[in-house]
Amino acid sequence: MWAAAPYLHNGSVPTLAELLKTSGHRTSQFSVGRKYDIENVGLATTQEPPLSEHDP
């Protein structure tokens, strides 16, 4: 289940910890990437920038 973030039908919640908050108290923006937050069970709030096709 932890590998299924972001959560909800529209992917609007990055972690299970955020999902337990009321909608008015959830993070409104987050980056999608490969890093996971094992404490909050979901996407990490900071993500690495994507690699360009020219990076080694």
The Cα–Cα gap between 5 and 35 comes to 11
pLDDT of residue 42: 92
pLDDT < 70 positions in the chain: 1-3, 53-56
pLDDT of residue 56: 60
pLDDT of residue 1: 54
CA dihedral angle for residue 26, residue 40, residue 8, residue 36, rounded to 10 degrees: 120
Task: Provide the residue ranges of all domains of the chain, joining segments of one domain with +.
Answer: 1-46
> pTM, whole model, 2 decimals?
0.75
